[in-house]
Amino acid sequence: MLDLDRQRTSSMAPSLKPSVIVIGGGEDKVQDRKILRAFVEAAGGATARIAIVPSASREPEIIGNIYRDIFRSLGAEAIDVWDIRERDRRTLSEAEVVVDGVTGVFMTGGDQLRLCSMIGDTPLFHTVRERVWQGQLVLAGTSAGAAAMGHNMIAGGGSSEAPHKDIVSMSVGLGILPEVVVDQHFHNRNRMARLMTAIAAHPDRLGVGVDEDTAAIFEDARLLRVLGRGTVTVVDPGEVSYSNQFWVNSTTPLTIHNLRVHILSEGSAYHLLKRIPISPGV
């Protein structure tokens, strides 16, 4: 599970740094800023060169400046804002010049469909993705930036209802974590039912629901660690023995048997290949 293309993973340069940080939104920006600080440290600390992508936001200039000030105060060496408001048209060679020297990319919140329409399947993002997979760059996304991490992306939907097809709408994400479906603001907005519904439709994926001010840190293709004040929920359909998802109508409640759910708080981890939780301190 989650080998992110095993040939790429096997050639990845050894590194203790996390390559992908998935933040559930609402991260602390004022007090200890634990998650944002962890991103800066993973990107190199005092030598970090960070690019902010505020394209998901309706106010990209304001949001970009907010995070620029935060990362500057956390000691990053250089911060740039990629203020992309139309679909990025750079060629591959131009994209490589833009990305060269960048050690961390941070995607802000907003609308994940807007974000993907601006940068999805572009030379710029292909360059970013390849460098993430090669261990050369740390990528973080919060809220919409988190939702876009998978290939199958939750684009919207309801909450506080029984699982049924109409509770979730799906689209194509950025494919950074192609075997994961991410939902954010998770327990804060009662999104368990919609993540279960998404996973019922995509039983070859792993569901990851991330609470606010919480991060699921993918250290490589094998391990997910939890940081922050909330929880990360892992929904694993690997042993599902029955589901009516494929033949019921859009409003009929789903039946799913033997769906495995793990709730992980800070200090816990999850082995993505073995599909087992790892207790704190182990």
Residue 94 in any domain: the answer is yes
Using DSSP's 3-state secondary structure scheme, residue 195 falls into helix
Q: In this structure, what DSSP letter does residue 165 have?
A: G
The structural domain count of the chain equals 1
One-letter amino acid at 80 equals D
Is residue 17 exposed (0-12), middle (13-18) or buried (19+ Cβ within 10 Å)? middle
Residue 128 phi, psi (nearest 5) = -60, -50
Residues with Cβ within 8 Å of residue 219, at least 6 apart in sequence? 16, 17, 18, 19, 225
* Segment 151-206, tens digit of pLDDT: 999 999 988 789 999 999 999 999 999 999 999 999 999 999 999 999 999 999 99
Residue 276 in any domain: the answer is no
Tens-level pLDDT at each residue, the chain (282 residues) = 333 333 333 333 333 356 899 999 999 999 999 999 999 999 999 999 999 999 999 999 999 999 999 999 999 999 999 999 999 999 999 999 999 999 999 999 999 999 999 999 999 999 999 999 999 999 999 999 999 999 999 999 988 789 999 999 999 999 999 999 999 999 999 999 999 999 999 999 999 999 999 999 998 778 999 999 999 999 999 999 999 999 999 999 999 999 999 999 999 999 999 999 998 876
* Segment 1-17, tens digit of pLDDT: 333 333 333 333 333 35
Residue 277 in any domain: the answer is no
- Give the CATH number for residue 244: 3.40.50.880
Contact 235, 243 (CB under 8 A): no
Residue 275 in any domain: the answer is no
Give the range of the structural domain holding residue 69, as residue numbers without chain letter. Answer: 6-10+18-268
Show which residues are catalytic. Answer: 143, 161, 185
